[in-house]
Amino acid sequence: MSNDKLKIKRKLLIEGLIALIISLSVLFFYSYKFIPSNEDLESLEFFGITFTKNGYYSIQTAFYYYFNKIVPIILLLIWFITCKHWWYHAILIPIAMYTFQLYSIIFENTRKVDENELLYLLGVCMVIIPIVYFIRVKLFDKHVHGIDLDAIDAELKEYKERERLQKEQDLKGKKL
């Protein structure tokens, strides 16, 4: 099989897996309903991993909160990885938000859900927003204003070279 056919098969396989994950995301999102809602159930073992109530009313409630964060993270990651637009770095902001929220749901006091993540998100925004703005300015200058920094640099080098040659000719003229 030729290299091109292998690339096409690989691309189709990856795109098919992505489409499958996206279409199954609704099932993942509502899969907490398949977990027993018995409040007396203290732990649940699944694939060798033990899950507990983690401070929630029941294990089903805990999984409700987990899947409410995990599914959007997965979908946003797929969007981030497959996006070909110049602004795709901005997708990192909601990814970071959901990740901080998931972290607080799993490891912190469950009485306060989705409250303090804004403070953590400010640090992420302070990095991502300038990067996105810088990319936008570069693209805007190049495509709207027609400013090409490489062309300007080449023109400046050419101008300096002309000045240098002119000075050399002037020095030769004075020596004669």
In the chain, DSSP assigns E strands to: 43-46, 49-52
Predicted local distance difference test score (pLDDT) of residue 70: 92
Contact status, residue 129 vs residue 135, Cβ threshold 8 Å: no
Cα separation, 96 vs 77, whole angstroms: 10
> Of the spans 13-17, 42-46, 53-57, which averages the highest pLDDT?
13-17
Contact status, residue 60 vs residue 37, Cβ threshold 8 Å: yes
Q: Which two tokens stand for residue 136?
A: 């936008």
Of 63-67, 115-119, 131-135, the least confident: 115-119
Q: Which two tokens stand for residue 23?
A: 């279409």
Segment 124-145 shows an average pLDDT of 75
Residue 174 has pLDDT above 80, yes or no: no
Residue of 119 and 83 predicted with greater confidence: 83
Cα separation, 105 vs 121, whole angstroms: 16
Predicted local distance difference test score (pLDDT) of residue 52: 74
Of 59-63, 70-74, 105-109, 143-147, the least confident: 143-147
Cα separation, 51 vs 170, whole angstroms: 85
pTM of the model: 0.66
Cα separation, 176 vs 156, whole angstroms: 31
Greatest Cα pair distance, the chain, in angstroms, is: 106
Residue 73 has pLDDT above 90, yes or no: yes
Q: What is the mean pLDDT of the chain?
A: 81
Cα separation, 153 vs 147, whole angstroms: 11
